[in-house]
Each structure stands twice: as structure tokens, then as C-alpha cells.
Structure 1
Amino acid sequence: MLDDAGLQALREAARLSPDNLPLRRHLAEQLLAKGYLADAETEFRAALMLAPKDADITAGLAEAFVRQSAHGAALSALEPFLAAPGYPPRMGVLAARALLGEGETGRAAQRYHEAVSRDPSVADPELAARLTIPAPSTPAYAPPPGPAYATPADAPSGAEVEKSKMNFADVAGMEAVKESLRVKLLLPIQQPDLFAAYGKRAGGGVLMYGPPGAGKTHLARAAAGELGAAFVNVGLADILDMYVGSSERNLRATFDLARRNRPCVLFFDEVDALAARRSDMRQAHTRQLVNQFLAELDGVDPNANEGVLVLAATNAPWYIDVAFRRPGRFDQLVFVPPPDAAARAAILRILCRDKPLAEMDFDAVARVTDFFVGADLKGLVDRAVEVKLQQSISAGRPIPMTTNDLLAAAQGTRPTAVREWLATARNYVLHANESGAWDELMPWIKRKW
């Protein structure tokens, strides 16, 4: 029973005029402000029946839930708005409070920081203190002297920030691919003044595609090391979740993690599982994940992803939704081919450089390993090492590995999946290339057939 005469009068007016949305909204807000939380929840629900997509009413209902410790209900109410770019920052703070109530401190801190960076007026010092994060500021982006790395508690769903110890010198061959990555991703950060003169910002997306094991992940790590940037390697388990809405939240949190650690290389492996063609999907929530991915690539504002270099890799680029190839997203496709003979020899040198060796003829091994990718060559070297280890154990001393050891291992090793991939790629190049997307593959396919 309300003991406030003004609230009783408002409630009676709302009873007599049940379809008066401004009146119901005002009543609900007054109830919330004076601490009548259960009554406020009832009135916000009634107002939402009249305006189901009203963000302010939804935020009020979520606040009523949070203050009643119904954190799961609050997140469910907010989720449809949080999944879209440009949601009201107040909702982000409410989501942070609900996530903290659920014990998800890292995700709560990410959500709070993102909301307050967009609108400092919604800052909640008490909540910030509980999240142990400093009061946010919104300076223009400038690359820091050294990348700041998030603590493990900040990492969403297993995604972690690391520092790559590799660079392009550790990647054998593929000079054309490395040059494409250098121009598209690295030089805008390494020479910002020159690129700014032409209106080019630091950031963007590149989709690398090619047969399995060709070195796409290796290239992504090397790009991060070449730049001295943070590196976030995102696997499917870091994003996909069995509960509706959780996958979208994980994806958003992953992008937020990269934005806080810029300059950062954000790498999505097997991206076709997250960016598949929406026309092939039967379930609405899987299409929503694609929509969320597109929204994150665009950013909530033009500078949101500045300094975030998004790399993705796939073995099946033809299954990716065409919207991802729009300028500003993955507008550059980079073909990562199986290594040629010179590249195979260089890969073998790198794989064997820390092992006891006799005089080696890596070119001879490269000539008999056509269709081998980097993963196949590593397996070949591992087999030769196993044989040499057995001999060394029997002899009681390390016995250097020879060219014949590698040739013998090559005779018993077959390339894994390149031939099958080539057959599939050939079908798309010859019969499904109306848009010209696979023109880059044409010369390479013709050389192999």
C-alpha cells in the first residue's frame, strides 16, 4: 500500500486512463525514484505493453530489476538493445551492474568502460570503485609507447591478450602476402602522418583465405610482432555459447578488449563459422550473431576501431556473407597459397635451424614435396627427428640429421588437404565467379591444372 498521496493520485489517474503512455511512464519513474521497486516494475511492464521498443522504459524496468537483485531478468530486458550499435549508455551501466551482480566482474568492467567512454555523464563512481577501474577519460587515440595488456580477469570467454614473439622474418616466402598486410595494416600505424595526409586511418580488416595449414595463423602472429602490438587470438569457443544472446555479448566483449589494448591485432580463425551467409541460416539467433559481427566491424562511431587491426582466416571464403566484403569491413581478401618450392625450402630451414644438422640440401627436399603446406612440412621434420632420436639414443650421442633423413620421411608422407581444397576452389573460380571475387585464384589454379 502506497503511503504517498501524490503517488496514490497518479496511480488512480493511470487506472482511469490505462492507455495514457506518458502518464504510466511518469508513474513508473516516480515509483522507482521513491524506492517502491515492485510497484515500479509493474508499471514499467504496463508501459512496455504500450511501447514495446521504448529504450527509456526498458532501462527503467532493468533498473527496477537490478535494485531488486534480479540481475538475470535485467540482462534479458536489456539484451535486445545491447546487441545493436549505438544503444543508450545508461543501459551499458545498468548491464555492468547486473553483470557484477552475476559475478562476471571482467565483463561488467568492459561494459561500464565502453558506456562511460561514450557518455561520461552516466559515470557511477561507486560502481567504478567496485569494478576497481579508474575514472574513464576520452582522449583522442594515439599509440602508446608500449601496448597495455589486460589482466586475465578482463578476458572475455577465454580470449586473452598476448605479445607475439614472431615477425615477418619468421615467415618463409609469401612475400606478396606479407606486403599486402604491411600496406593495409601496418604502415598506417608505423607512419601515421603520411597516411593521415590522405585521410587513411590506422585500422581495418583483412580476410586471409587458402588451404588448411598454409600459414594464416602464423602470418597473423607475425603481423602483430612486426608492429609490436597486442595480439588477441579468438577461437570459436571464445564466442559461441549455447544461450541465446550470449554469443553476441562475447563478440562485443572481445572487440572491447582489443579497443582497450590498441594498437592491437584481433585475429579470428575459422571465421566462416561466425560470418556465414545469412541466407543459409534457419535460426534467427545465428543471423543475429552475423549482424553483431558486422556492427562491431563498423564501430559505434567512426573512430571506434582506430588502431584495431582485424585479421580473419578461413579455408572456405565462399561461405562467408557477402556483406563482410563491403569497404570498411573485410574489404581486402588476401590469398595465402601453398608454398612454392623456394618457400618450402625456406620453411624447412626455419624448422630445422635449432637441430643438429649435417650439410643439408633443402632444395632437394622441396622438389619432392609438391602440394605440401607448412603444417605438412612440420610433420615431415617431426618424423625425421623421431627416427634420428632413436638412433641417437642407441649411439649415446646426438647424431646430426641429413638430407636423406628428410627425403626418407617425405616418401612416407602425403600432403593433407591441398588437393581437395584446390578441387573446390577450381569449381568456384570457373563456375561461380560472376562478381570477380576469385579472380586472384585464376592464375594459380591454371598453373596447377
Structure 2
Amino acid sequence: MLDDAGLQALREAARLSPDNLPLRQHLAGQLLAKGYLGEAEAEYRAALVLAPKDAGIMTGLAEAFVRQSAYGAALAALEPLLAAPGYPPKVGVLAARALLGEGDTARAGYRYHEAISRDPSVGDADLAARLSAPPTPTYGAPALPGQPYAAATPPAGQAYGAPAHPSAPTPVDGATAEIERSRLNFADVAGMEAVKESLRVKLLLPIQQPDLFAAYGKRAGGGVLLYGPPGAGKTHLARAAAGELGASFVNVGLADILDMYIGSSERNLRATFELARRNRPCVLFFDEVDALAARRSDMRQAHTRQLVNQFLAELDGVDQNANEGVLVLAATNAPWYVDVAFRRPGRLDQPVFVPPPDPAARAAILRLLCRDKPLAEMDFDAVARVTDHFVGADLKGVVDRAVEVKLQQSISAGRPIPLSTPDLLAAAQSVRPTAVREWMATARNYVMHSNDSGAWDELMPWVKAKW
């Protein structure tokens, strides 16, 4: 119910003159400006029926979607505009916001910088900061050429190791990774019950029930190596583990660690661990960890081996309690390239296989992906049966493609048309599974011919099956 008299008058006028396009467009814009996002979306849809190719209406509808976190729908609405040469720069910024919401940082950055290069006035400082956070000054590194080296002394009145504000994460010199708070938990991860139970026992319960585990000399903290085919949900699972625990979450990318100057990568790694220790309990997540923990026997340069040595030293800690409350989760698609020293007890000694989803898990994933969309009666099991070898990322692609088609139909009809089972089945026919078969073929080579230590016995049932 609108509580604004002016908006109520506009809505009544639009009701009496349903074909008055300028009036409908003005009402939609006012609703959007005042935060009535659902009502704004409905008015833009109605206006789009009157003018299906109006760029302003499509842009307004896309903005309503973005502000409701319906990023896929926003991109579908913007697609005709982005395909035209010389599209308005504002459209590029809006597309960048939607792409960033979808997790596609690279394409978001391209759209944003291309847009502001044509019209700097459309720049969005918050969006720019999220796309490329400025690096934090490091010990011994000058902030600008010709200036003194950055001091290690904290600001006046602030003690070493004390956060600048009681509610803010503790800053650590040299750490470019950021503290997050995950809103996911294990209920948001479909299937993978054995994997979730393994993480509960190995990482979460020692923090949730410290007295019981202390009786057996088990301290909170430790490391787990998640491995499996691309797109199976390893990053999603790590975020859910942090949310399940209510812990801080640090997602460490390669750019946060690797540096062209000798010694800087090791310093960045040390600072990242220190950031986690100062904000414990904390889940420290390293994706593509094989790039930071590769086998030293394969390295020709001493300084690359030093980074692996530093990583091992940080996992061990300077004393037995250094990493208490720090849960290290590492993920890789190529566990056989990780240095064997990481599998020593106390490090990443607990490898956990994240398998491709079985039919029941695929149906559960589809239910989660579709839970916030208008639906007809659905048979997710039927879709799961025709999506063999699909991982979570592939299934998201199926749902996104079906939504795009349904959105176009809804725009033409002027009302939301529910998503149905045939829509998902049709989309599944046009989406090919990504890299599961190739990954399993590689895994088979290691399991069958390079498994003298028994490290990959867990994969044996999989590689001997239908793969």
C-alpha cells in the first residue's frame, strides 16, 4: 500500500488512462525513486507493453531488477540495449552492477570502464571501489614515488593490534584480502550431505563445542583441502561453512598474494594469515590453491619455492596456539599438483572430495535455484534425470537461460508467466555440461597409475564407474 498521496494520485490517473505512456513511465520512475521497487517493476512492465522497444523503459525495468537483486533478469532486460552500438553509458553502468551481482567481476569491470570513458559523469564511486579496491600500503613499500617508506607505527592513540573501531575488522598492513560476513549456511547447499558432515566434524564442532573437544586435546582450527571438478560448489561450500559458524570469512585470491617483487608474495601471505588470526573465529579460504602450493620439485626458481615454504610455515604457526580458531579451507581442481608436504598432519591433511551431484542432489540444487521465482507445478526430478554430468554451475546456467526466455514472454504479455518444467527441459537441451568428463579422465590417470601412497583411493569408485 502506497502511503504517498502524490503517488496515489498518479496511480489513479494511470488507472483511468491505461494507454497514456508518458503518464505510466512517469509513475514508474517516481515509484523507483521512492523505493517502491515491486510496484515500479509492475508499472515498467505495463509501459513496455505499450512501447516494447523504448530504451528508457527497459533501463528503468532493469534498475528495478538490480535493486531487488534479480541480476539475471536485469541483464536479460538490458541485452537488446547492450547489443546496439553507442548504447547510453548509464546502461553500461547498470549492466556492470548486475554483472557484479552475478559474480562476473571481469565483465563488470569492462562494462563500467567503457561507460565512464564515454561519460565520466555516470561514474559510481561505490561500484568502482567494489570492482577494484585500492591496495593497502605494505611494510617497506613507498606509497608514492619519491615519498618516504610507509611507517609501521599505528596512528596516534591506537595500540598495536587494536582495530580502528570496535565494530570494524582489524586492518593488517600488507593484507589486501577483506573480511566478509557470509549470509549462507549449509541449508543453502543442496546435496553433498557427506561433505557437509565431514566439515562439521573436522572444523565446525571444535569451535561450537570447545569443552567436549578440549577433553580429548582437540583444538579449534585446522585445514581441509576441498577438491573436485570445476563448478561443483567448493567456493559456495566454503562460504556456507563460515555462515554456519557465524565466523568471519576471508576469500583469498591469487592477486591478494602474488607479487612481481621477490619477497613481497611471502609478506602478503603472512599478512593474510595475520588478518585471519586477529578476526578469529575466521574461515580463511584459498581458491585455486595449487597456484600457491605447487610441488617444489617442479619449480626451477628458488623464490617460487620460498612461497611454498612460507605457506607451510603459516599453517604450522609460530606456536601450537597461533592458528587456534582459524579454519583454513583450500580448494583446487588439481590436487595432484599440490606439494605433498601440505598433507602432513596439522596442515591440509584432510582432503575432502566434492563430487559432481547425483540426480537427487541435482533436483535439490534446482529447487534452491528456483525458490524465488514464479513457478508452475514443477517436476525437478525429471529435469535432474536429463542433466547427467551437470554440476551446480551448469544447472545455474540452465535456470538462467530458462528465465531469460520466460522473461521475454512475460514482457510481451505484460504479466509474469510462471516458469514450468518444459521450460527447464528445453533450456537443458541447449546447455552442455562443462568439464566433468575431462576432469574425471585426468583423475583416472592419477588414481590408476600414480596412487602408490593411496592418497586418491577416495576417487576409485568414481573413476571405475560410468565416467
> What TM-score do the two structures reach when normalised by structure 2?
0.67
Residue number in structure 2 paired with 1:169:
187
Give me the whole-angstrom Cα distance separating, in 1, the residues matched to 2:432 and 2:141.
54
Pairing 1:413–2:443 present: no
Give me the whole-angstrom Cα distance separating, in 1, the residues matched to 2:399 and 2:368.
11
User: Pick from 267, 271, 277: which aligns with 1:253?
Assistant: 271
Aligned pairs (5 A) from 1:127-206: 127-130=153-156, 133-134=158-159, 149-150=168-169, 154=172, 156-206=174-224
Report the AA paired with residue 174 of structure 1: M
Give me the whole-angstrom Cα distance separating, in 1, the residues matched to 2:396 and 2:177.
27
Residue number in structure 2 paired with 1:294:
312
1:403-447 residue CA offsets vs partner (Å, 9 max, x unmatched): 000000001111000000000001111111000000000012222
Residue number in structure 1 paired with 2:384:
366
Aligned pairs (5 A) from 1:34-433: 99=139, 102-103=142-143, 127-130=153-156, 133-134=158-159, 149-150=168-169, 154=172, 156-433=174-451
Shift of 1:283: 1.1
**Contact between 2:312 and 2:342, CA under 8 Å: does it hold in 1?**
yes
Structure 2 residue matching 1:158: 3-state secondary structure: coil
**Matched residues, percent identical?**
83
CA 254–390 in structure 1, closer or farther in 2 if over 3 Å, else same = same
Shift of 1:108: 7.5
CA 248–388 in structure 1, closer or farther in 2 if over 3 Å, else same = same
Residue number in structure 1 paired with 2:122:
none
Structure 1 residue matching 2:328: 3-state secondary structure: strand
Shift of 1:150: 1.6
Report the AA paired with residue 134 of structure 1: A
Shift of 1:99: 2.8
CA 193–157 in structure 1, closer or farther in 2 if over 3 Å, else same = closer
Give me the whole-angstrom Cα distance separating, in 2, the residues matched to 1:324 and 1:204.
12
Gaps of 5+ in 2: 1-136
1:173-194 residue CA offsets vs partner (Å, 9 max, x unmatched): 0000001100000000000000
Give me the whole-angstrom Cα distance separating, in 2, the residues matched to 1:128 and 1:154.
10
CA 359–412 in structure 1, closer or farther in 2 if over 3 Å, else same = same
CA 174–421 in structure 1, closer or farther in 2 if over 3 Å, else same = same
Shift of 1:204: 0.3
Give me the whole-angstrom Cα distance separating, in 2, the residues matched to 1:136 and 1:172.
39
Residue number in structure 2 paired with 1:67:
none
Shift of 1:102: 3.2
Shift of 1:158: 2.8
Q: In angstroms, what is the RMSD of aligned CA positions? A: 2.1
Shift of 1:207: 0.1
Shift of 1:129: 4.3
Report the AA paired with residue 133 of structure 1: Q
**Contact between 1:192 and 1:202, CA under 8 Å: does it hold in 2?**
yes
Shift of 1:134: 2.1
Residue number in structure 2 paired with 1:60:
none
Report the AA paired with residue 382 of structure 1: D
Gaps of 5+ in 1: 1-96, 113-126, 138-146
Structure 2 residue matching 1:302: 3-state secondary structure: coil
1:285-307 residue CA offsets vs partner (Å, 9 max, x unmatched): 11000000000000011110000
Aligned residues: 324
Give me the whole-angstrom Cα distance separating, in 2, the residues matched to 1:217 and 1:410.
24
Of structures 1 and 2, the larger Rg is shown by 1
